[in-house]
Structure 1
């Protein structure tokens, strides 16, 4: 099926479906880790989407130090399954068990991307002055404040303009550039995984 007419659309569909759910699972981990408001409607949406799968997994995988390890394990299993399915479709039938290792740099990249997009969205929202009581604004604040506060201490507002998000974005992009290539080399990730 390597040269099949349907390979690219099926790969796209697998990446989209698995990617969306994996992102929601990672978001659940991050929101819990950042101690976001559990009763926020968006938090409740994330919880309701992930609880059917995480509930049984939590019986097997306990949390460690308040961290929801079951969410990380689920995200890892989802990403690994996605890579195995795509590997089968693109004809990379050799050593597909390596997908369990290849998924690690992909998940690190996903976490960095979530923070990048959250900071970008927070910057854009600051330009339009949204309702501060909106649930999305509260979640963005919970997710990005632990990154922005140290940057704001390092680079205070200049002339009323807060440049700390730019500092955080530069730091996240550098982290991605410095962290992912060695992780991909260490896990022997094939080119089609990137």
Structure 2
């Protein structure tokens, strides 16, 4: 069987989860500067990233005033991306 010239599934996993990781990073930076819900762009980021952060927030409470759910979510998503990319055949 001939493989595709572009490994489409690898591209979808890598850039799809990479986009989620990037938006999580932007939202974390925005929260440090207090730019969360006043601007529509950051409301969009919140609506995009909340499905990934909320389950972690329910399991892990904030430590003092630091919300570690962003870091845990980013670690879990990055680990998922690496495991998926290693499990896929290289020509997919």
Asked if Structure 1 and Structure 2 have the same fold, meaning a TM-score greater than 0.5 normalized by the shorter chain, the answer is: yes
The answer for the alignment partner of 1:188 in structure 2 is 91
Q: CA RMSD in A?
A: 1.7
Q: What secondary structure does 2:37 align onto?
A: coil
Deviation of 1:154 (Å): 1.2
Segments of 4+ moved more than 6 angstroms = none
The answer for the alignment partner of 1:108 in structure 2 is 13
Deviation of 1:177 (Å): 1.0
Q: What secondary structure does 1:114 align onto?
A: helix
The answer for the alignment partner of 2:66 in structure 1 is 161
Higher relative contact order (CA 8 A, sep 6+): 2
Q: TM-score, normalised by structure 2?
A: 0.88
Aligned mates of 2:16, 2:4 — CA distance in 1: 21
Q: Deviations over 1:125-170 (max 9, x none)?
A: 0111116231111110011000000010111111121000000010
Unaligned regions of 5+ residues in structure 2, if any?
none
Unaligned regions of 5+ residues in structure 1, if any?
1-94, 190-194
The answer for the alignment partner of 1:99 in structure 2 is 5
Deviation of 1:182 (Å): 1.8
More helix by proportion, 1 or 2?
A: 1
